[in-house]
Structure 1
Amino acid sequence: MMNTERPLAISAPEPRTLDLIFSDKARAELHTKYEIVEADPENIAGLGDEILGRARYIIGQPPLSAETLAMPALRSILNVESNLLNNMPYEVLFQRGIHVVTTGQVFAEPVAEMGLGFALALARGIVDADVAFREGNELWGGEGNASARLIAGSEIGIVGFGDLGRALRRLLSGFRARIRVFDPWLPQSILEENGVEPASLDDVLTKSDFIFVVAAVTSENRGFLGAESFASMRKGAAFILLSRADVVDFNALIAAVSSGHIVAASDVYPEEPLPPNHPVRSLKGFIRSAHRAGALDSVFKKMGDMVLEDMDLMDRGLPPMRCKRAERETVSRMRSKPVAVN
């Protein structure tokens, strides 16, 4: 007799919700194909042996102990937070062949578009010109372009070249810019195949008119861009932070912008939300965005589609292909933490 029992998936997607990441159609498909058990992310073990013994998937990446992970049917943990979390024994998962995957790549395109917007706004003084116009102090024509410049034909540096860096490169391709990339985790050939120049961090910092920082936070790079880095940049260069604030000494960044040496824009901060009196709120030469670059409803819904596609593949005995898999060699270096927005 054919077994018609639906595979069981534990739902613990915090800080997301199933309604956020699945469209109505995708949510209906999820519940049709799978038995969904909602769980307290802080107490997965409390589901009991019967549920844990049948669970094939966990949607989310809740804290898990080695004891809880003694789940015989578990095939994959589908992280929908977007960053791999340091909250479970990855070695146990790798030893058992359990896939840990993340949907974070959905944010690459929208965040890259925000980065391009930042660069254009800084290059052409769009934000300050708008404020001046509102206040009746606008400068017309060439008088309003004393510090304006073009991205076209400029020199651009990118720090990090994962999904976000590649999406950014695609957007910048029409500007005929020279693009240098520093990413110590990638071989030179991959950078060259993507149409960018492999470069040292020093070359990226000292030879760029625009610098985009899209590197993930690891145990090796926390705060690695500090006062010396900003001092080495060209005067008037634009520094655009899109990944995580922890890669930057934020006080040093504020000082570099405050001195007039560089201009900057950021979508991320050392603490979120920032205190009302934080100095960056009134900092001239700095464009601010409240960690919203990737947080579009259409983008969140793509997460659910990715999860369904990969669950279908694994149901058929195939590896996940749509989400990005955690790698044994690099996951131990990641030090990401949950965030409230995207």
Structure 2
Amino acid sequence: MGKIKKACIIGDAMIPGKDFRPAFDRYLAKYVEDVKTGDWESDWQKLQFRRLEVEKQGPEIEIVPEMLGSEDREAELVMGLFVPVSSKLMEALPDLRIAGVCRAGLENVNLEEANRRGILVFNVQGRNAEAVSDFAVGLMLSESRNIARAHLAIKQGEWRKTFSNSDMVPQLKEKTIGIVGFGYIGQLVARKLSGFNTEILAFDPYVNPEIAGELGVKLVSLEDLFRQSDFVTVHARLTDENRGMIGSKEFALMKPESYFINTGRAGLVDYDALYSVLKEKKIAGAALDVFPTEPLPEKDKFVELDNITLTTHIAGTTKEALTSSPGLLMEDIQKLLEGRKPRFIVNPQILENSEFKQWLTGIQS
């Protein structure tokens, strides 16, 4: 059996490189001659800014991680979480064959360049799906039932009983929930809401209708979803095609007593349009975990609103979501190296690339 000449593990403040090593030792160590471990950005606050900018502008805005030197040019495998897998990184690692990220989003990977160079890309779908779906349901309850506002009032010495939605505080039973993006997270939201006896609508042009049918979910147009729903929750992945897909037109369709929840991507939503409908109380409220700029500026206009719940991009951050993802990634890469079928390959056409096939055969033989 051949071996991968070198692997580079590039962690960050959220999952440091050292926290990748137990999974590496368990799944991949026997396939790799040499491994280098380090971090791309170890400062938590700087990481939040840098990763958000990469999500908005792509990985090419970043330079090659400082931990990579000329001695790493023979690396054939690179793994990380938010590390920008850019054309610059690929140029610095000319022997690169596999790049893997411990997240479902691919905003930090230049997939077009990886395809051009014959680099196989892995991600980890669903690593934080349970966490995000839990949080989305929590935000529906927190915003509509004024949980966070009542807590804050008590902390400030006030026994508050009146809120902006006091004349229409809802219960979830028999409400219509609209889910924008019906992938794994959206499907989990539907399953978790089933106990509330809700009617669930979904918009997703790519989902298999049979999956929706099995969950008792009705697929509708985006316009019908916004028009009919009492709660709209966003779980679509951000692409160039759907950036800004939710704006003034969609918000104008919402009921006055409805709520908007976003734990997905800020880039899917026109936040100026959302602010306007909240300010004018054309909808009952909103809850947001993602923002165009993070951290949210101290005097941001959303802070002044009383009909919104704001959280600090923590929907996907649970112990289980973080600690399990390196193992999920490396176990999947191990499957490839052992000739089994992986789950998380992003660009499977690379498996037919002649140079890649020759390289992989050398590892597997």
> Does residue 101 of the first structure (1) align with residue 83 of the second (2)?
no
Residue from 172, 184, 189 that aligns with 1:163 = 184
Contact 1:112–1:167 (8 Å) recurs in 2: yes
Residue from 317, 321, 334 that aligns with 1:299 = 321
> What secondary structure is seen at the aligned counterpart in 1 of 2:233?
strand
Residue of structure 2 in register with 1:340 after alignment: none
C-alpha separation in 2, matches of 1:90 and 1:183: 24
Deviates more, 1:60-69 or 1:191-200: 60-69
Residue from 86, 98, 102 that aligns with 1:63 = 86
> What secondary structure is seen at the aligned counterpart in 2 of 1:180?
strand
Deviates more, 1:217-226 or 1:5-14: 5-14
Please tell me the residue identity of whatever aligns with 1:175: F
Cα deviation, 1:80-105, whole Å, max 9, x if unaligned, reads 25421365353653773x43121252
C-alpha separation in 1, matches of 2:153 and 2:65: 54
> For residues 88 and 208 of structure 1, do their structure 2 counterparts lie closer, same or farther at Cα, with a shift above 3 Å needed?
closer
Please tell me the residue identity of whatever aligns with 1:8: K
C-alpha separation in 1, matches of 2:291 and 2:65: 31
TM-score by length of 1: 0.81
> Does residue 152 of the first structure (1) align with residue 173 of the second (2)?
yes
> What secondary structure is seen at the aligned counterpart in 2 of 1:243?
coil
Structure 2 residues without counterparts, runs of 5 or longer: 41-62, 350-365
> For residues 309 and 201 of structure 1, do their structure 2 counterparts lie closer, same or farther at Cα, with a shift above 3 Å needed?
same
> Does residue 311 of the first structure (1) align with residue 333 of the second (2)?
yes
Residue of structure 2 in register with 1:229 after alignment: 250
C-alpha separation in 1, matches of 2:296 and 2:169: 30
Alpha-carbon distance, 1:19 to partner: 4.6
> What secondary structure is seen at the aligned counterpart in 2 of 1:325?
coil
Residue of structure 2 in register with 1:29 after alignment: 26
Contact 1:13–1:79 (8 Å) recurs in 2: no
**Percent identity of equivalent pairs:** 28
Residue of structure 1 in register with 2:353 after alignment: none
Alpha-carbon distance, 1:70 to partner: 4.6
Contact 1:21–1:300 (8 Å) recurs in 2: no
Residue of structure 2 in register with 1:333 after alignment: none
Contact 1:268–1:291 (8 Å) recurs in 2: yes
Matches within 5 A, 1:241-256: 241-256=262-277
> What secondary structure is seen at the aligned counterpart in 1 of 2:35?
strand
Residue from 184, 195, 220 that aligns with 1:174 = 195
> Does residue 126 of the first structure (1) align with residue 147 of the second (2)?
yes
> For residues 145 and 327 of structure 1, do their structure 2 counterparts lie closer, same or farther at Cα, with a shift above 3 Å needed?
farther
RMSD: 3.0
Residue of structure 2 in register with 1:188 after alignment: 209
TM-score by length of 2: 0.76
Count of aligned pairs between the two proteins = 316
Cα deviation, 1:147-178, whole Å, max 9, x if unaligned, reads 32111211110001112211211211211111
Alpha-carbon distance, 1:116 to partner: 0.5
Contact 1:246–1:270 (8 Å) recurs in 2: yes
C-alpha separation in 2, matches of 1:87 and 1:126: 38
Please tell me the residue identity of whatever aligns with 1:9: A
Please tell me the residue identity of whatever aligns with 1:26: A
Alpha-carbon distance, 1:193 to partner: 3.0
Residue of structure 1 in register with 2:304 after alignment: 282
> Does residue 139 of the first structure (1) align with residue 137 of the second (2)?
no
> What secondary structure is seen at the aligned counterpart in 2 of 1:12?
strand
Alpha-carbon distance, 1:282 to partner: 2.2
> What secondary structure is seen at the aligned counterpart in 2 of 1:174?
helix
C-alpha separation in 2, matches of 1:162 and 1:20: 32
Residue of structure 2 in register with 1:110 after alignment: 131
> What secondary structure is seen at the aligned counterpart in 2 of 1:43?
coil
Contact 2:77–2:99 (8 Å) recurs in 1: yes
C-alpha separation in 1, matches of 2:109 and 2:124: 17
> What secondary structure is seen at the aligned counterpart in 2 of 1:157?
strand
Contact 2:179–2:201 (8 Å) recurs in 1: yes
Residue from 1, 7, 10 that aligns with 1:9 = 7
Contact 1:15–1:81 (8 Å) recurs in 2: no
C-alpha separation in 1, matches of 2:65 and 2:86: 8
